[in-house]
Structure 1
Amino acid sequence: MNKRLAHVDDVKVTAISIGSGFLIGDLTFSRARSKALAVQEETTSFTDWADFDSYPIFQRDLPPARPVINIDSSFHNHHPSIIVHNIKLKGISTAGLFQIGGIDHIEGEGRLKHIRILSEEQ
């Protein structure tokens, strides 16, 4: 990786959640993963739904990775550093990644099963 310095003046991030990251600088490898069950139920009692093995979406094989893109050795940066003045970011969620810098390899996986259990209409 062609490494550079990152100069960051001001960053404001409101929220980072569910397997996500905010990074300043170079990174060799990142694997962001998330599994989530979102249950909406019209009831006064809570039922435990956190058994990922019960839902096929969490058991499926991922599609094969795309081929690596090789950049020939004549690639060069025109500036010796990355300069960032101001960033306002509301949120990063569900295996998301925000990075100021370079990365060699990244894998991301987000799986969500949304379940709605609604009372019968009268």
Structure 2
Amino acid sequence: MKRMVYLNELDVISTLIASGILIGDVYSISPSSNAVAVQAESPEQLDKLIDFDNFDIFAKEPSYFLQPLNLNAFSYSTKPICVDAVDVTSISTSSIVQIGGVDHVHSRSRIKHIRRLEEEPL
């Protein structure tokens, strides 16, 4: 797939954490992100917690993958893609905004949330 893309206007406010904006056709894309999110009232010794090796979630393989779709008919046009305007507020954590076609997408995001709150008196 190699089509021309004519884009009049693209307005994106923010793109974060292994995300992207693609204009045109691509064969394959694999955005991936690992994150540890910590919320703490008392930040002492948090640097010892924030290590990917401390959490099994970052070492495990996904439990399953979606099977490819089998289409009876496929229509491919060599005509260019024409887009007037796209407004995006935010793209985050292994997400893609694409104007065009893609054959293979493998997105993965793993986030470990930790909340360390001080005990409240009874």
TM-score (norm 2): 0.87
Segments of 5+ residues of structure 2 without an aligned counterpart are none
Change (3 A) 1:46 1:16: farther
Equivalent residues, number: 120
Partner of 2:57: 57
* 1:42 equivalenced with 2:47 (yes/no): no
In 2, distance between residues paired with 1:32 and 1:97? 8
Identity %: 37
Partner of 1:26: 25
Aligned residue identity for 2:109 = G
Segments of 5+ residues of structure 1 without an aligned counterpart are none
Displacement after TM superposition at 1:56 (Å): 1.6
In 2, distance between residues paired with 1:71 and 1:6? 25
In 1, distance between residues paired with 2:92 and 2:45? 25
User: RMSD of aligned C-alpha atoms?
Assistant: 1.9
Change (3 A) 1:117 1:6: same
Displacement after TM superposition at 1:79 (Å): 7.5
Aligned residue identity for 1:117 = R
* 1:6 equivalenced with 2:5 (yes/no): yes
Q: For each residue in 1:60-93, what CA deviation from the matched residue of structure 2 results, as whole angstroms up to 9, or x when unmatched? A: 2112322222445x52246812211111111110
Between structures 1 and 2, the one with greater strand share: 1
Partner of 2:95: 96
